[in-house]
């Protein structure tokens, strides 16, 4: 996704809590740090592919596709925190350890944005509360936390944690709200917060994949794919105005979204519009 402002997200660090990352050609030398909270691996790897895919949507340069698969912020920096296994499953303790690590190391690696394309249902109150508390600590520390609404729709109250936090920016999929693809999580949350905050396409998104000659791409669908679009856009905004707070960014997202005509608990403020968003960053 290109933008007419000539911004690249250069120098803005995005932390990804996911399945890891494969050193795809599109990432070049921009993987600043990799931490494996499951097995202690020291070199970047992704035994699932989900983390590589989401990072490509936000930060891929398109080098392996002649620019066709260029991400939103192709020069942003990548900090990959592996908290999910090869099946995409994880444990609360690993996610919380990763969040604590971010609080301790965000300054060292220039992390401004946290992309969390994972979530869990609210059926376990203890787990739900711990995840909400974790992301809200990141938010209160001044980090821009972007989370997926989850793929548990279409029933009301299907936004997953930690996307159900009232503070963070929660993203649904605009092309997965109705009809056969109506899986994008929708509110209200258990605390009666109307989520998601906004939506953007997430169906059959082409992005980076592990393996081969480091030039592979694949298509994946879900709110996980919508979330890094917003993370990348925030990187562009912070390149333009580094001092913007997470609340200011959130309000700019609200004011630039386009109404799709759906109820608020489906679309939030509406569909994300990159140009309109960046025009508000002055």
pLDDT in tens, 140-173: 999 999 999 999 999 999 999 999 999 999 999 9
- CA-CA distance, 104 to 280, in Å (whole number)? 31
Q: How many C-beta neighbours within 10 Å does residue 138 have?
A: 25
Q: State pLDDT tens for residues 21-74.
A: 999 999 999 999 999 999 999 999 999 999 999 999 999 999 999 999 999 999
For CA atoms 4, 242, 273, 109, the dihedral sign is: positive
d(CA 161, CA 30): 29
Tokens of 60: 């891929």
Instruction: State the pLDDT at residue 155.
Output: 92
Q: How far apart are the C-alpha atoms of 221 and 204, rounded to whole Å? A: 5
The secondary structure of residue 214, as a DSSP letter, is T
- pLDDT of residue 138 exceeding 80, the answer is yes
**Out of 24, 26, 50, 65, which one is annotated catalytic?**
50
Q: Which pLDDT belongs to residue 118? A: 87
Q: Is 19 exposed, middle or buried (0-12, 13-18, 19+ CB in 10 A)?
A: buried
Other Cβ atoms closer than 10 A to 125: 9
Mean pLDDT of the chain: 94
- H helical segments located in 181-222: none
Instruction: Go through 75-95 and write b for each residue having 16 or more CB atoms within 10 A of its CB, e for each that does not.
Output: bbbbbbbbbbbeeeebebebb
Helix (H) or strand (E) holding 200: strand 198-200
190-239 pLDDT per residue, tens: 777 889 999 999 999 999 999 877 789 999 999 999 999 999 999 999 99
Task: Give the span between the Cα atoms of 29 and 218, in whole angstroms.
Answer: 22
pLDDT at 2: 64
Q: Which of 18, 26, 46, 94 is catalytic?
A: 18
The active-site residue, picked from 158, 165, 174, 224, is 224
Q: Catalytic annotation on 50?
A: yes
pLDDT value, residue 123 = 65
Q: Report the 10 Å Cβ neighbour count for 259.
A: 10
Name which of 73, 67, 53, 66 is nearest 278 in CA terms: 73
Does pTM surpass 0.85? yes
Q: Is 224 a catalytic site residue?
A: yes
**How far is it, in rounded angstroms, from Cα 28 to Cα 44?**
13
Which tens digit of pLDDT belongs to each residue from 111-134? 999 999 988 876 667 878 899 999
């Amino acid at each position: 996704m290109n933008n007419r402002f000539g911004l690249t997200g250069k120098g803005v660090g995005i932390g990804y809590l996911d399945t890891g990352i494969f050193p795809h050609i599109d990432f070049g030398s921009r993987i600043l740090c990799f931490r494996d909270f499951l097995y202690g691996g020291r070199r970047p790897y992704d035994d699932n592919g989900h983390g590589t895919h989401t990072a490509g949507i936000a930060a891929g340069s398109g080098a392996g596709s002649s620019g066709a698969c260029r991400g939103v912020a192709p020069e942003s920096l990548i900090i990959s925190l592996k908290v999910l296994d090869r099946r995409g499953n994880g444990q609360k303790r690993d996610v919380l350890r990763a969040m604590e690590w971010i609080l301790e190391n965000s300054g060292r690696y220039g992390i401004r944005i946290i992309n969390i394309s994972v979530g869990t249902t609210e059926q376990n109150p203890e787990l739900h509360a711990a995840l909400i508390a974790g992301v809200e600590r990141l938010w209160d520390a001044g980090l821009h936390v972007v989370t997926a609404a989850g793929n548990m729709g279409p029933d009301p109250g299907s936004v997953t944690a930690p996307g159900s936090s009232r503070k963070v920016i929660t993203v649904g999929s605009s092309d997965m709200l109705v009809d056969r693809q109506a899986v994008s999580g929708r509110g209200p949350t258990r605390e009666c917060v109307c989520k998601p905050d906004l939506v953007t396409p997430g169906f059959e998104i082409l992005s980076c994949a592990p393996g081969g000659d480091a030039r592979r791409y694949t298509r994946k669908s879900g709110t996980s794919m919508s979330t890094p679009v917003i993370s990348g856009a925030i990187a562009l905004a912070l390149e333009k105005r580094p001092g913007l707070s997470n609340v200011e960014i959130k309000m700019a997202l609200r004011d630039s979204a386009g109404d799709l005509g759906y109820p608020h608990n489906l679309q939030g403020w509406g569909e994300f519009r990159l140009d309109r968003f960046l025009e508000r960053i002055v």
